[in-house]
């Protein structure tokens, strides 16, 4: 248990699981795991994953007995919903999504709260090892997640472990992994991502890069591997800080790279410095397919380590909003808030990275206005700060009487408190994702992965706020009394 406690919120942080199996047991205790036997990897697993992905009260799904795959090999999906969201992040059930986001930001301190891992001789991940001619990725229950995907993706809830060839820094990065055949894969690391920068150094030397791909592991380590951890800091250390104790790692016998001793499945291999192969299309986090013709590095898998009855962790994006955006909204919103405040912007009262924008494309920021230009300052910094810059498109800044988590309230404020000609700024040349469907194919081919951003000042105009039309929304006191007296009207009708 970590010592992160906040008397204002009256919670203590504790992760009740050490690995993916213990997570399944905890989710079972909550009554939030459904089991499906015999679903096909060709279509049915992907269909079921899409069905449960969108609703926040939907269950996790554990697939077993997948035809054509090894007996006992399983796949888990939809881990971030309902009460298990809080359990997964280590917080009590009573926290709503805003409180959960703030609580996560309190325990996530990658610049300071670091606990390095320890190495052990062995662990359950070495229950089984296939190497050389025995490597056969086809025996794992790897689905086609979306109907127009270009292949089977074994890695959606996975992360790659790589090492900086100059500094020795270990990076964990979430890059989807597509199977090519029984012994090779390719993965997608966008320009600028740490894992790609590691590979570029090997390319300069003409050498193959060692990689360890953790295909099933504890959810917290997967989540941190996909976050914006600063350069030079290992996600292993960050997870140790969150847990309040070091992770136990083993070294891969082929690559020497570290990975958790209790991981479900780990692929060890080498990334070619020159050879590239087709990757995708794939249904990405924007709710759209990646472009055809994309190529990514060839990775030869030389060893596979896995536990008895291993479990793949699946975390595929779906049309928005979905599980992926639900998770990102919780973990990113308060971090953007922290970034804005750290830049010196006062009285930022709330931030929400909206699910409908994949938690990146639409940010809502609430402030208590203090001076002319305050809203523009907050909006511009939100669009360019560390946690908010990648793939952002819209920032809407509102007064603190607006609930920024409510899309209706946010858009209503933008429509009634802003003027398109005078309240909107545009930024050109912002960093975006290869998944952004609005990047022109010719620009994408050039590597010009940039976009524009719209900053909307939807606050009551500061210099004539005293003359602005008053909202008809009832005061907090009147709303409270109305609920107390007439809330019964919203219940079931009486016979």
The number of angstroms, rounded, from the C-alpha of 206 to the middle of its chain's C-alpha atoms is 32
Distance CA 92, CA 356 (A): 26
Which residues does 144 contact at the CB level (< 8 Å), separation at least 6?
Answer: 41, 42, 43, 46, 151, 152, 153
If phi > 0 it is left, if psi is from -120 to 50 it is alpha, else beta; for residue 236 that is alpha
Give the residue from 400, 398, 407 showing the smallest Cα distance to 359: 407
Q: Global pTM?
A: 0.91
| Residue ranges for the chain with pLDDT beneath 50 | 1-8
pLDDT on residue 429: 95
pLDDT on residue 305: 98
pLDDT on residue 90: 96
State both tokens at 46. Answer: 């992907």
Could you write out the DSSP letters of every residue in 101-154? HHHHHHH--TTT-----EE-S--GGGSEEEEGGG--GGGS-----STT-SS-EE
CA distances from 56 to 81, 85, 216, 322, 399 (A): 5, 9, 23, 9, 28
pLDDT on residue 494: 66
Q: Quick check: 100 and 145 in contact, CB under 8 A?
A: no
Could you write out the DSSP letters of every residue in 152-185? -EEESS-EEEEE-TTT--EEEE---EEEEETTEE
Distance CA 220, CA 103 (A): 15
pLDDT on residue 2: 43
Q: What is the CA radius of gyration of the chain?
A: 23
List 398's β-bridge partners, or say none: 366
Could you write out the DSSP letters of every residue in 184-247? EEEE---TT-HHHHHHHHHHHHT-PEEEEEEEE--HHHHHHHTS-PPTT--HHHHHHHHHTSPP
């Amino acid at each position: 248990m970590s010592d992160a406690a906040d008397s204002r919120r009256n919670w203590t942080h504790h992760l009740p699981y050490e690995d993916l199996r213990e997570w399944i047991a905890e989710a079972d205790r909550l009554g939030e795991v459904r089991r499906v036997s015999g679903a096909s990897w060709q279509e049915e697993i992907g269909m079921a994953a899409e069905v449960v992905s969108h609703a926040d009260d939907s269950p996790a799904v554990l697939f077993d007995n997948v035809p054509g795959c090894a007996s006992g090999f399983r796949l888990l999906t939809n881990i971030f919903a309902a009460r298990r969201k809080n359990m997964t992040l280590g917080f009590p059930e009573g926290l709503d999504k805003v409180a959960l986001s703030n609580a996560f930001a309190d325990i996530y301190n990658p610049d300071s709260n670091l606990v390095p891992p320890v190495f052990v001789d062995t662990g359950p991940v070495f229950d089984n090892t296939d190497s050389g001619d025995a490597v056969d990725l086809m025996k794992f229950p790897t689905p086609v997640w979306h109907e127009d995907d270009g292949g089977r993706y074994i890695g959606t809830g996975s992360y790659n472990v790589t090492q900086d060839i100059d500094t020795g820094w270990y990076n964990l990065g979430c890059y989807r992994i597509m199977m090519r055949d029984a012994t090779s894969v390719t993965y997608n690391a966008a320009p600028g991502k740490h894992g790609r920068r590691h590979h570029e150094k090997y390319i300069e030397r003409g050498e193959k890069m060692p990689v360890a791909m953790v295909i099933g592991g504890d959810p917290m380590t997967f989540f941190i591997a996909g976050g914006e951890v600063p350069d030079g800091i290992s996600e292993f250390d960050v997870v140790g800080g969150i847990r309040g104790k070091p992770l136990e790692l083993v070294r891969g016998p082929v690559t020497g790279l570290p990975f958790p001793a209790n991981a479900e499945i780990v692929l060890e291999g080498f990334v070619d410095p020159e050879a590239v192969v087709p990757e995708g299309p794939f249904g990405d986090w924007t709710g759209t397919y990646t472009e055809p013709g994309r190529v990514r590095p060839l990775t030869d898998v030389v060893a596979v380590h896995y536990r008895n009855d291993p479990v793949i962790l699946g975390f595929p994006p779906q049309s928005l909003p979905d599980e992926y955006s639900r998770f990102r909204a919780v973990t990113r919103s308060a971090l953007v808030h922290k970034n804005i405040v750290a830049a010196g912007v006062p009285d930022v009262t709330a931030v929400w990275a909206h699910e409908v924008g994949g938690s990146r494309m639409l940010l809502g920021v609430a402030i208590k206005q203090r001076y002319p230009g305050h809203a523009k300052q907050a909006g511009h910094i939100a669009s360019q700060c560390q946690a908010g810059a990648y793939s952002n498109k819209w920032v809407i800044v509102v007064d603190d009487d607006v609930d920024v988590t409510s899309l209706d309230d946010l858009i209503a404020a933008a429509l009634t408190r802003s003027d398109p000609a005078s309240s909107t700024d545009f930024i050109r040349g912002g960093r975006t994702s290869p998944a952004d469907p609005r990047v022109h194919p010719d620009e994408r081919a050039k590597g010009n992965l940039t976009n524009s951003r719209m900053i909307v000042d939807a606050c009551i105009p500061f210099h004539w706020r005293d003359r602005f039309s008053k909202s008809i929304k009832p005061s907090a006191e009147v709303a409270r009394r109305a609920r107390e007296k007439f809330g019964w009207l919203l219940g079931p009708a009486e016979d």
